[in-house]
Structure 1
Amino acid sequence: MKLSFKLKASSALLSAALLAAASSPAMAKEFKISLGGGEGTAQHALAAKFVEGLEANTEHTARIYSNSQLGSEQDTVNDASMGVLDFSVVAINNITPFSPTVGVFTLPYIIETLEEAETLVQSPAAQELIENTVRDAGVRIVGWTFSGFRVLTNSKRPVEGLADLQNLVIRVPKNEIMIDTYRAWGVNPTPMAWAELFSALQQKVVDGQDLALVDIASLKFYEVQKYITNIHYNFLLEPMIISEGVFQDQSEADQAAILAAGKEATLYSAEFLRSSEADAIAKLKEKGMEFFDVDESEWIEKATTTVWPKYYDSVGGKDKVDAVIAALGR
Structure 2
Amino acid sequence: MKIERLGSLGMALIAALVMLAGLAQMVSAEPRVTLQFAHCCPAEHTFGVYAHQFADRVAENSGGEIAIEVLDGGVLGSEQAIAQKVQLGVVALAGITSNNVAQLAPALNVLVLPYMFDGVDDLTGDGGLLRAGAYRDALNERVLAESGSLRVVGGFTNSFRSILAKNQCIDTIDDLQGLKIRAPKNPVMTAMWDSWGVSTYPIAWGETFGAVATGVVDSFDSPTDVVLDMGFHEHIKYVTEASYLPMAGVVIVNNDIFSGLSEADQAVLLKSADEVDQSHAAHVAANAERVRKELSENHGVTFCELKDPEVWKEKAQGAWPKLFELVGGGEAWVEETKHYKETGTLN
Q: TM-score, normalised by structure 2?
A: 0.84
Counterpart of 2:288 (choices 261, 277, 283) is: 277
- Which of 285, 302, 309 matches 2:315? 302
Counterpart contact for 1:202–1:224, Cα < 8 Å: yes
Name the counterpart of 2:42.
Answer: 38
Contact kept, 8 Å, 2:191 with 2:323, in 1: the verdict is: no
Q: CA deviation at 1:127?
A: 2.0
**How many residues end up aligned between the 2 structures?**
303
Match of 2:4 in 1: none
Contact 1:139 1:243 (8 Å CA) reproduced:
yes
Equivalent positions of 1:210-221 (< 5 A) are 210-221=221-232
For 1:328, the equivalent position in structure 2 comes to 341
Q: Cα RMSD over matched residues?
A: 1.4
Q: Which amino acid is the alignment partner of residue 130 of structure 2?
A: V
Are 1:264 and 2:275 an aligned pair? yes
Percent of paired sites with the same residue: 27
Alpha-carbon distance in 1 for matches of 2:121, 2:91: 32
3-state secondary structure, aligned to 1:312: helix
Partner of 2:22: none
Tell me if 1:94 matches 2:100.
yes
In structure 2, the residue matched to 1:21 is none
Alignment deviations for residues 144-196 of structure 1 (CA, whole Å, 9 cap, x no partner): 12211010001121111011110100000111111111111011000111111
Aligned partner of 2:56 in structure 1 is: 52
2:293 partner letter: A
Deviates more, 1:166-175 or 1:112-121: 112-121
Partner residue of 1:288 out of 287, 290, 300: 300
CA–CA distance in structure 2, aligned partners of residues 102 and 42 of structure 1: 21
Distance 2:266 2:246 in 1: 29
Which stretches in structure 1 are left out of the alignment for 5+ residues?
Answer: 1-26
C-alpha distance in 2, partners of 1:244/1:130? Answer: 11
* Counterpart contact for 1:47–1:265, Cα < 8 Å: no
Aligned match of 1:17: none
**For the Cα contact (< 8 Å) 1:150–1:231, is it kept in 2?**
yes
Aligned partner of 1:183 among 194, 206, 225: 194
CA contact (8 A) 1:99 1:132 kept: yes
Structure 1 equivalent of residue 117 of structure 2: 111
User: Which residue matches 1:151?
Assistant: 162
Amino acid across the alignment from 1:289 = V
Letter in 2 for 1:125: Y
**Which residue of the partner structure matches residue 325 of structure 2?**
313
Q: Secondary structure at the match of 1:90?
A: strand
Separation of aligned partners in 1, 2:89 and 2:215: 38
**Is 165-174 or 52-61 further displaced after alignment?**
52-61
What secondary structure does 2:163 align onto?
strand
Counterpart CA distance in 1 for 2:226 and 2:56 is 22
Deviations 1:213-259 (A, max 9, x none): 22322112111211111211110011111111110110010001111
Q: Which runs of 5+ in 2 are unaligned?
A: 1-30
